[in-house]
Amino acid sequence: MLKTSMPTRHAAVLFLGVAALSTPVAAEARGAVRASAPTSISGASARATTGSVDRGVVNSGNVSRRAVNTGNVNTGNINRGDINVGNDVNINVDGNYDRWHDWDDHYYPVARGVAFGTAAAVSAAAVGSMIYALPPACAPQPYGGYTYYSCNGVWYQPRYQGTTVSYVVVNKPY
Amino acid sequence: MRPVSLAVIAALGSGLVGEVAAQNRPDSPRAEVATSVEPEALQALQRMSAYLGTLPNFTVAIDADIDVVTEDGERVRLDEQVIYKVRRPTGMVVQTTSPRRERHVIYDGKQLTVYAPRRGYYATVDAPPTIRETLGAIADQYGINLPLVDLLRWSEPDSYRPSMLKAGYHVGPAIVDGVETDQYAFREGDLDWQIWIQKGDKPTPRKVVIVDNIDEARPAYAGRLTWNVAPQFTAQDFAFKPGKDAKAIVLVTYEP
């Protein structure tokens, strides 16, 4: 059950770990979260028991997180623009709470650096595209029992994906 | 604890206890790990599950540590507090709180609401008539993984647990938050998990550790649990009241 020898594979993993610790890494990469702990046994087991499909969920979750970080926020106008130039460490995920990739209400730099702007600059507001924080100066517009936001002519519908709030670009609802 | 007692003692002797020992990297391919579950460990799990199933009402507060792993392999541990209020079979509130995030999941026997008080958004949908069915909808229909939802699922009569386990053993006695417990370690799927079960006639889980074996950094969840098995609830406890400026939004259906 617990072995005392250290196979080559293990040593290699350890070596990589040490290398990662001692090598300067671009701070932007450091801020992105690639994995988080399972917060329940049965939820994670359900994920694990269906084999490749479930690993697919995990992987696509990671890809999604990356897509979010490098797309709308980190490599958008904020990080590469004037506000944060690769010197912050942001943990944007607070646990594998849902099957959806997760997002925080507030972005706290975990280790050091600069407070993160909450507004995501949107260069392409195609219908169906999604962001996790509204641009500034968006007015809420109630319609049909739900709330929409109008931002410079772009309409967003807030919604829960799991327990994560996101905003999806929609056609003008009325 | 027969097959592993020496290894466990060695781990204890080297200063690695409990959770820390479990977080050591596996030094063998997963196919080589033990595939036996000690009857003693399984019985402890079943006894705890049966006890939890007898509780008509309970609250449990979970003080959780949750690891996240950054792209360059740094493991960062975050804190979160969770409160479950359960009134079987039709009342359940799960409140998850940290400075980063606050969410309430509220079930009143008729409707399910997801509420973010600080952001002022809520979504309410029709729900099945029991907690048990609603848990299924929460996970499968809406893709919400409630923290330590196992607390509710363990007591389900047709729990799949025993057949899922591929290893399990009694690690030994332990004190958790001043309470005498027995520590057990299990493996299943891509997880290693441990549970500390209170000794005596109220065998509640007092601590749970779950280690993910997919990522090489092996992020872990660790929750300490404080129980009230005789809470006094009122209808207000399970009634959703949105804040003054809270807005209704859509709850998206999960499609794998």
Rounded Cα gap, residues A151 and B108, in angstroms: 36
Calculate mean pLDDT across residues A152-169: 89
Q: What percent of chain B has pLDDT over 90?
A: 69
Mean pLDDT of chain B: 86
Looking at the complex, report in whole angstroms how far the Cα of residue B230 sits from the nearest Cα belonging to chain A. 24
Nearest residue in chain B measured CA to CA from A53: B256
CB-nearest to B25 from A5, A13, A39 is A13
Inter-chain contact A140–B247, Cβ cutoff 8 Å?
A: yes
Distance from chain centroid for Cα B39: 23
* Interface contact flag, B188 A41, Cβ < 8 Å: yes
Who wins on pLDDT, A18 or A100?
A100
Q: Do B145 and A17 touch (CB under 8 A)?
A: no
pLDDT one-digit tens code per residue, B215-252: 999 999 999 999 999 999 998 999 999 999 999 999 99
Question: Does the beta-carbon distance from A94 to B248 stay under 8 Å?
Answer: no
Quote the pLDDT of residue A104: 58
Beta-carbon separation of A57 and B4 below 8 A:
no
Contact B58, B40 (CB under 8 A): no
CA distance A169 to B57: 43
CA distances from B239 to B137, B159, B235, B249 (A): 19, 29, 6, 18
* Chain B stretch 4-23, residues whose beta carbon is closer than 8 A to a beta carbon of chain A: 4, 7-8, 10-11
For residue A165, the chain B residue with the least C-alpha distance is B121
Inter-chain contacts counted by CB atoms under 8 A, chains A and B:
228
| Cβ-nearest to A160 among B70, B74, B114 | B114
Q: Is B158 on the interface with A (CB under 8 A)?
A: no
Instruction: Round to whole Å and give the CA distance between B105 and B115.
Output: 6
Cβ atoms of B188 and B210 within 8 Å: the answer is no
Q: CB count, 10 Å around CB of B154?
A: 21
Chain A residues with CB under 8 Å of B74 CB are 20-21, 30
- For the stretch A87-122, pLDDT in tens is 233 333 333 345 454 555 655 443 222 223 333 444
Predicted pLDDT of residue A102: 52
Inter-chain residue contact B102 with A157, CB threshold 8 Å: no
Q: How many residues are there in chain A? A: 174
Spell out where B22-74 has E strands.
57-70
Contacts made by residues B194-200, CB under 8 angstroms, sequence distance 24+ = B194/B18, B194/B19, B194/B22, B195/B45, B195/B48, B197/B44, B197/B48, B199/B173
* Cβ atoms B162, B168 nearer than 8 A: no
Find tokens 């997760």 and name the residue: A102
Name the phi and psi angles at A119, rounded to 5: -90, 130
Residue B73 above 70 pLDDT?
A: yes
pTM for the structure as a whole: 0.71
CA B171 – CA A15 distance, rounded (Å): 30
Is B119–A162 a contact, with Cβ atoms under 8 angstroms apart? Answer: no
Instruction: Provide the pLDDT confidence category of residue A51 given band limits of 50, 70 and 90.
Output: very low
Tell me how far apart the alpha carbons of residues B53 and B151 are, in angstroms, rounded to a whole number: 10
Cis peptide leading into residue B89 (ω within 30°): yes
Complex ipTM: 0.81
pLDDT at A163: 87
Q: Please check whether residue B148 touches A, CB under 8 A.
A: yes
Question: What pLDDT is attached to residue A162?
Answer: 86
Which of A38, A53, A97 has its CB closest to that of B210?
Answer: A38
What is the mean predicted confidence (pLDDT) over B178-195? 96
Of A110, A47, A169, residue with least CA distance to B68? A110
A1: which 2 tokens? 């059950």
* One-letter amino acid for residue B110 of the chain: K
In chain B, residues with a C-beta closer than 8 Å to the C-beta of A105 are 100-102, 116, 118-119
pLDDT mean across residues, chain A: 54
**Both structure tokens of B107:** 């079930």
Buried b (16+ CB within 10 A) or exposed e, B188-223: bbbbbbbbbbbeeeebbbbbbbbbbbbbebbbbbbb
Residue A133 sits at φ, ψ, to 5 deg, of: -150, 140
User: Could you give the maximum distance between any two Cα atoms of chain B, in Å?
Assistant: 60
